[in-house]
Amino acid sequence: MKRDKKAIDRQELFATMPVPKALLTMAVPTIISQLVNLVYNMVDAFFIGRTGNSYMMAATTLTLTMVLVNISLSNLFGVGGGSLISRLMGAGKPEQARRVGAFSVYGALAASLLYSLLLGIFINPVLRFLGGSDQTMAYARSYALIVVVAGSVPSMVSMTLAHLLRSTGFSAKAGFGLSLGGILNVFLDPLFMFVILPKGQEVTGAAIATLLSNVIAVIYLLVAYLLSTRKAPLSLSPKEAVKVSRNNLRALFSVGVPSALLTGLFDLANVVLNILAAAHSDLVLAGMGIVMKIERLPNAINVGLCQGMLPIIAYNFSSRDHDRMRSVIRTARLWGLSVSFLCIALFEILARQVSGMFLSTSAGDVDSAVRTVAYAALFLRIRALASPVQFLNYSSSFSMQAMGDGKGTILHACVRELVLYIPFMFLFDRLFGEVGLACALPIGEACGAVFAMFLLHSWLRKKSIQQA
């Protein structure tokens, strides 16, 4: 009876609960986990900034690109598998959903092992390509070997498990699991950076703390996933994984590949940004790195909101309740834009103070630190303007992924990054230098948002005609 009640509660959450309440139920734990993970990612930069060493800060900026590849590959199986599981639940096919869940977990494990192996072999040329200089290479290599080469498996598998748990209504478990790693990192970072390891090894200490936090998080999520298999159409059985049908594999990858590509192209844009910034100086690169961490505040909230809405949209799309699905999209859009404009006001007023939190101007090379913070404050005021249009890109893309529109998601990702943002970076950098480089983001994202909303509403119109 208790199990039946749980199933009814999840069906109510997806199908009948008032939209604002359902969206809050799914999105709040996800937003919290995104914010905690934001803190977790910013903690490394914050404590490294206490050294006043701009080259250490630049090194962690270089390795951010490698970390984002983990997110991209986890989206391949987490978003692709999770979206399909929600649609299969809406269509009343729990057995197929279990097979998809098992395949997604083992797929993420295999991809993370392959990525770790390749990066371990080619670590030095990759770092040089990303803009590593003689001053930053040693720091960047140490961080990448520990966090990415050794840490890709726990990081990628934990994110995939969280997506799958969220797709079946266990948003709180997914959020807590991801948050657990972030909370631990807050305490482990200063311990390893300033107590256990000697001075000069702060980057290595931060990397070890991050790795341990990810390992503990993936252990919790594995246990939570196993327990959830009793109540939801999830599985960790290899026998279930190999039984997944070709049609479901196509459906998984039709959403997973575009989602991975979306993150991968975003990663490529960051590579280009790092290379162009490093060409000006390591201080410009460090300043841009600070901003890329700060601007993740609105991004974390809005991505969490979009991840929370995705399973509800997928379920109602599959069950053909398109009115409810549209209501979810509209409500999420209103909330996300409100957060974005609030953050613009915050960053425009407090750009210098917020930037100064990430690099001490009273320790180490004071002159370099002061110049780095000045660059960061300038870049932040410009790039913060992109927040509302970035959310419209996220919202439209996640909505298309939820409905299985892989072609639209791929087209949007390619146009947004390859046709708009990256060419704008080269153009404005050439015309206006590092200031132009910062301006490329709000202009590119605004153009991308117009195109994304056109694609989304064209897809909705097409499906409404088919349903009629």
Residue 388's pLDDT is 95
Of 460, 466, 145, the residue nearest 329 (C-alpha)? 460
- C-alpha distances (whole Å) from 123 to each of 48, 54, 154, 265, 396 are 22, 22, 19, 20, 35
pLDDT at residue 209 is higher than 50: yes
Q: Assign 2 a pLDDT band (cuts: 50, 70, 90).
A: very low
Tell me, rounded to whole angstroms, the distance of Cα 452 from its chain centroid.
19
Residue 57's pLDDT is 72
- Which residue would you say has higher pLDDT here, 453 or 179? 453
Residue 63's pLDDT is 80
Condensed to tens digits (0 to 9), the pLDDT of residues 53-110 reads: 777 877 777 787 788 788 888 888 988 898 899 889 888 888 999 999 999 999 999 9
- Residue 405: CA count within 13 A, CB half-sphere: 24
Q: Assign 343 a pLDDT band (cuts: 50, 70, 90).
A: very high
- Which residue would you say has higher pLDDT here, 198 or 115? 115
Report the percentage of the chain scoring pLDDT > 90: 39
Q: What is the mean pLDDT of the chain?
A: 86
pLDDT at residue 465 is higher than 60: no
Find tokens 């072609």 and name the residue: 407
Q: Assign 29 a pLDDT band (cuts: 50, 70, 90).
A: confident
Residue 261's pLDDT is 83
Q: What angle do CA 396, 398, 399 make, to 5 degrees?
A: 65
Q: Assign 464 a pLDDT band (cuts: 50, 70, 90).
A: low
Residue 461's pLDDT is 81
Distance CA 181, CA 186 (A): 9
Residue 59's pLDDT is 78
Beta carbons of 246 and 99 less than 8 angstroms apart: no
pLDDT at residue 189 is higher than 90: no
- Residue 425: CA count within 13 A, CB half-sphere: 19
What phi and psi values does residue 196 have, to the nearest 5 degrees? -80, -45
Mean pLDDT of 286-307: 87
Q: Assign 8 a pLDDT band (cuts: 50, 70, 90).
A: very low
- C-alpha distances (whole Å) from 426 to each of 130, 161, 278, 281, 431 are 16, 38, 14, 16, 9
Beta carbons of 277 and 435 less than 8 angstroms apart: no
Of 9, 2, 33, the residue nearest 221 (C-alpha)? 33
Mean pLDDT of 15-30: 87
What phi and psi values does residue 269 have, to the nearest 5 degrees? -60, -40
pLDDT at residue 160 is higher than 70: yes
Residue 4 CB coordination number (10 Å): 8
Q: What angle do CA 259, 260, 261 make, to 5 degrees?
A: 90
468 CB-near residues (< 8 Å, 6+ apart): none
Condensed to tens digits (0 to 9), the pLDDT of residues 362-407 reads: 665 678 888 888 999 999 999 999 999 999 999 999 898 888 787 8
pLDDT at residue 419 is higher than 60: yes
Mean pLDDT of 434-462: 92
Domain limits, the chain: 2-467
